[in-house]
Amino acid sequence: MRTRFTEAFGVRHPIVQGGMQWVGRAELAAAVSEAGGLGMITALTQPTPADLAREIERARALTSRPFGVNLTILPAITPPPYDEYRQVIVDSGVTIVETAGSNPEPHMAMFKAHGIKIIHKCTSVRHALKAEAVGVDAVSIDGFECAGHPGEDDVPGLVLIPAATARLSVPVLASGGFADARGLVAALALGADGVNMGSRFMCTVESPIHDKVKQAIVDGDERGTQLIFRQLRNTARVAGNEVSRSVVEILEGGGTFPDIAPLVAGVRGRRVFEDGDLDAGIWTVGMVQGLIHDVPTCAELIERIVAEATDLISQRLAAAVAS
């Protein structure tokens, strides 16, 4: 399946594994890329820039195909050394970066000077247009269904994706709510050039998270997520569990961030993925878990999506037109 995205980024299939904290490690990114998609190592999952350099080399030992690095820039009490992580990306020879969170402009000059292509993930048309204006090579647009931070506009993908593709000239990846061939075909019909999947790739053999978490996603449905931080104007979609429900209750009762900080500490969320304790902390998953029913290898998943999408376009949709 050739699109503007596959041509520009040198991948076989228009399927991207987005950066995910604690999940986007070498084994997953390499497996996605080896299967013809575009895998992403999540930079800030690695505790230091030196660790990121080692993780990139670990991925290189697993695949010769292109993979990228996600660099998410968010406000923090103690900001990570973004300049050092950025330098590691450049020095490693990685040619694709996915930025997310804040405006990518401060990072553009250095990446562009070294021939690195940039995908910026955003949640609104206005932010996508700004990213295009500062020179990104592609935009990943997140609908309200997505895991993580869906923004504050609450616009679902069925509206957001065509609204974005109608105004952008760079390739667009549809993100939030995609897990199968039907989603890929729908994204292409809405004007996108591919899909960016997170939760779906969490549920693969190579995903480096506990099997209990994968099984919880398989067993879950589209109602099993929780929106937290709404009162703080920093909305996040996470799995519904004891911790996320407590966070919502505290904030709805007039609490402030210091009241919930111990509950949402990143170290607790990491324990979920490593130990399989689903109530140990906050962990991220999208509404799309209602469409996830198995745990295939990345190769099996991508091959299935591409084959079924091809059949859907050439047979079912073609037959509908013919009739």
pLDDT value of position 84: 97
* Average pLDDT rounded to a whole number, residues 268-287: 97
Both tokens assigned to 208 = 């480096």
pLDDT tens for each residue of 93-139: 999 999 999 999 999 999 999 999 999 999 999 999 999 999 999 99
pLDDT value of position 139: 98
* Statement: residue 1 has pLDDT above 90: no
CB-based burial label for 321 (10 Å; 0-12, 13-18, 19+): exposed
To which residue do tokens 């670990």 refer? 58
Taken as a whole, the chain contains a residue count of 323
pLDDT value of position 114: 97
pLDDT value of position 3: 98
* Number of Cβ atoms within 10 Å of the Cβ of 126: 12
pLDDT value of position 312: 97
pLDDT value of position 75: 73
Do residues 263 and 241 make contact, with C-beta atoms less than 8 angstroms apart?
Answer: no
Q: How many CA atoms lie within 13 A of 19 on its CB side?
A: 26
Q: Which of 154, 138, 136 is nearest to 146 (CA)?
A: 154
pLDDT tens for each residue of 6-26: 999 999 999 999 999 999 999
* Statement: residue 78 has pLDDT above 90: no
pLDDT value of position 200: 98
Do residues 201 and 207 make contact, with C-beta atoms less than 8 angstroms apart?
Answer: yes
* Average pLDDT rounded to a whole number, residues 57-86: 93
pLDDT tens for each residue of 182-199: 999 999 999 999 999 999
pLDDT value of position 230: 96
Do residues 90 and 115 make contact, with C-beta atoms less than 8 angstroms apart?
Answer: no
Which band of pLDDT confidence, cut at 50, 70 and 90, is reported for residue 74? confident
Cα–Cα dist 65/94, whole Å: 11
* Average pLDDT rounded to a whole number, residues 52-60: 98
Do residues 260 and 224 make contact, with C-beta atoms less than 8 angstroms apart?
Answer: no
Longest Cα–Cα distance of the chain, Å, equals 61
Alpha helices for the chain (secondary structure H): 4-9, 26-34, 49-60, 82-92, 105-113, 125-133, 157-165, 181-189, 199-202, 211-219, 242-252, 257-260, 266-275, 298-311, 318-322
Which band of pLDDT confidence, cut at 50, 70 and 90, is reported for residue 204? very high
* Statement: residue 258 has pLDDT above 80: yes
Which band of pLDDT confidence, cut at 50, 70 and 90, is reported for residue 322? confident
* Statement: residue 76 has pLDDT above 80: no
* Statement: residue 77 has pLDDT above 90: no
* Average pLDDT rounded to a whole number, residues 220-247: 97
SS3 169: coil
Q: Which of 64, 119, 310, 305 is nearest to 204 (CA)?
A: 305
Cα–Cα dist 118/25, whole Å: 19
To which residue do tokens 């065509």 refer? 162
Q: Which amino acid is at 143?
A: G
